Amino acid sequence: MKRIEIDSLSQLDMVAEEVLAALDGRSVVIFRGGMGAGKTTLISRIAAALGSEDSVTSPTFALVNQYIGENDCRIYHFDFYRIDSIDEVFDLGYEEYFYSGDLCLVEWPEKIEPLLPEDVMEVRISAGDDEERIFEIE
């Protein structure tokens, strides 16, 4: 496990690079942290590090957003906060995304725990005072 502590959001680009460096062949990354911990903000920095110029917003109502990075790499951003039933994820066709080999960044994975691939990478975010954050990457 890698632990990174920051005291300024200006350090998030470095955290994004660490997340990408830790992928080790994995393509599904789950983000755990409370409301306002910075999951979407970190995901926006990861997309930017991959060359995406798309505007990254939380797909709370659409469930998934797609961003395009350098060399047309696809990045999928999921937010399962508002799902009421795991059936909604089946209707979305989650398997096509999770097993595509494209990068899948998942917020609120606890809502779909049984559907996650075995080899997911986990990023836990703990918020401290102001812009202080602790990231644990597994």
DSSP string, 38-49: SHHHHHHHHHHH
The b-or-e profile of 95-133 (16+ CB within 10 A means b, else e) is eebbeeeebbbbbbbebbeeebeeebbbbbbeeeeeeeb
Query: pLDDT tens digits, residue range 31-79?
Result: 999 998 999 999 999 999 999 999 998 887 788 999 999 999 999 999 9
| pLDDT for the residue numbered 130 | 85
| pLDDT for the residue numbered 129 | 86
Spatial distance between the Cα atoms of 72 and 61, rounded to a whole number of angstroms: 25
**Mean pLDDT across the chain, nearest whole number?**
94
| pLDDT for the residue numbered 48 | 97
Query: pLDDT tens digits, residue range 5-15?
Result: 999 989 999 99
| pLDDT for the residue numbered 108 | 96
pTM: 0.95
Nearest Cα neighbor of 130 from 17, 38, 18 is: 38
- Is 2.60.40.10 the CATH number for 2-137? no
Break the chain into its structural domains and give their ranges. 2-137
Query: pLDDT tens digits, residue range 78-87?
Result: 999 999 899 9
| pLDDT for the residue numbered 122 | 98
User: Does residue 105 contact residue 76 with C-beta atoms inside 8 Å?
Assistant: yes
